[in-house]
Amino acid sequence: MLEVHHVSRSFAQRLVLDDISFIVPSGALTGFVGANGAGKTTTMRIIMGLLNASSGHVSLNGSELSGDTRPNFGYMPEERGLYPKQPVIDQLLYLGQLHGITRAESRKRAMDLLARFGLEDRAKSKLESLSLGNQQRVQVAASLLHEPDVLILDEPFSGLDPLAVDAMSSILRDYAARGVPVLFSSHQLDLLDVLVDHLVIIQEGKILANSSADDLRASQASRHRLSLGADAGWLRDEPGVSVIDLSGSQALVNFESEADSQRVLAKALGLGTVSEFAVHRPSLADIYREII
């Protein structure tokens, strides 16, 4: 497990990370979400040792990481780092060499990764001749070439078409299934529900959530959606009910207890038609919006 402990960081007196702590569990996909400028990239750079924390530290499996050495981490930075004018395969072979992998093994791994992204026929193309989404796939392949034990990806899904999103999702899931802690940032909230096991939410340099996806969903389980035959405004005056959203005959509410939900259902039936009365499980995107 990767752990961020009480990390703070300022730039020119401005505090951009304020005593943040969270975990990236092994064997789980962890989504890292927050608005532009919330502090995601700064946090990832500190995890990678590319930037020093003003205070706090990062540990892996209980051992504090020090300086800028990281044992077999894979990182895809926000500013993509490959050379536009060089052929894709040459860059991957070069990276393999930097990681001490033999040329033959690097070629095998590179071609396997390119095949998974549907790019095996572009191996000899210059990077700049690929579409932006395909360049992105090559960047991810580059971060995976040395089969890292920890994976940190800054916006790996940005600019990808739906098929590439699926390919990327399946690769990240494979890594998590091997027991690797995987942290990725994303602004694509629709991906959270299908992908993440653990969610970290950051806002203005503070952590607002650091929970398993299941716990976050369970914390919202008492919510119900009601669709009545007439105006649902009376729900606002009911004890034991808090209205989250109400529009005409439709309402989204929280009941304090099961007894409250049954009493309100009986009252609604007494008043007229009830076409829907169902437990509503909010998506992680809904939960994110509410927390933010």
Ligand X SMILES: Nc1ncnc2c1ncn2[C@@H]1O[C@H](COP(=O)(O)OP(=O)(O)OP(=O)(O)O)[C@@H](O)[C@H]1O
Task: Give contact residues for ligand X (rule: CB under 6 A).
Answer: 11, 16, 34, 36-42, 78
We find the least distance from the C-beta atom of residue 202 to ligand X, in angstroms, to be 7
Q: Which is nearer to ligand X, 40 or 109 (CB)?
A: 40
Amino acid present at 58: V
Q: How far is the CB of 52 from ligand X (least distance, A)?
A: 12
Residue type, 210: N
CB of 140 to ligand X, least distance (A): 17
**Shortest separation between residue 18's beta carbon and ligand X, angstroms:** 11
What count of other Cβ atoms lies within 10 Å of the Cβ of residue 152? 27
Radius of gyration of the chain, Cα coordinates, nearest whole angstrom: 23
- CA atoms of 3 and 22, how far apart (whole Å): 6
- Minimum distance from CB of 133 to ligand X (Å)? 18
Closest CA to 46 of 31, 63, 58: 58
Q: Which is nearer to ligand X, 36 or 247 (CB)?
A: 36
Of 185, 215, 186, nearest in space to 198 by CA = 215
Q: Of 50 and 279, which has the nearer Cβ to ligand X?
A: 50
Nearer to ligand X, 27 or 77 (CB): 77
Query: Residue 36 or 63: which CB sits closer to ligand X?
Result: 36
For ligand X, give the closer residue by CB, 34 or 74. 34
Whether 152 contacts 74, CB under 8 Å? yes
| Least distance CB 5 / ligand X (angstroms) | 18
Alpha helices in the chain (DSSP H): 40-48, 88-98, 103-116, 132-144, 162-177, 190-195, 213-218, 258-271, 284-291
| Tokens linked to 42 | 């700064």
Q: Which residue number, 4 or 92, has a Cβ lying nearer to ligand X?
A: 4
CA distance 18 to 156: 25
Q: Is residue 245 classed as helix, strand or coil in its secondary structure?
A: strand
User: Smallest distance, Å, CB 22 to ligand X?
Assistant: 14
Residues making up the chain, counted from first to last = 292
Which one, 44 or 140, has the nearer CB to ligand X? 44
Least CB distance to ligand X at residue 165 (A): 18
Task: List all residues 6 or more positions away from 112 whose beta carbon is below 8 Å from its beta carbon.
Answer: none
Q: Which residue has the tokens 């007439």?
A: 230
Instruction: Sort strands 182-185 and 29-33 into parallel, antiparallel or unpaired.
Output: parallel
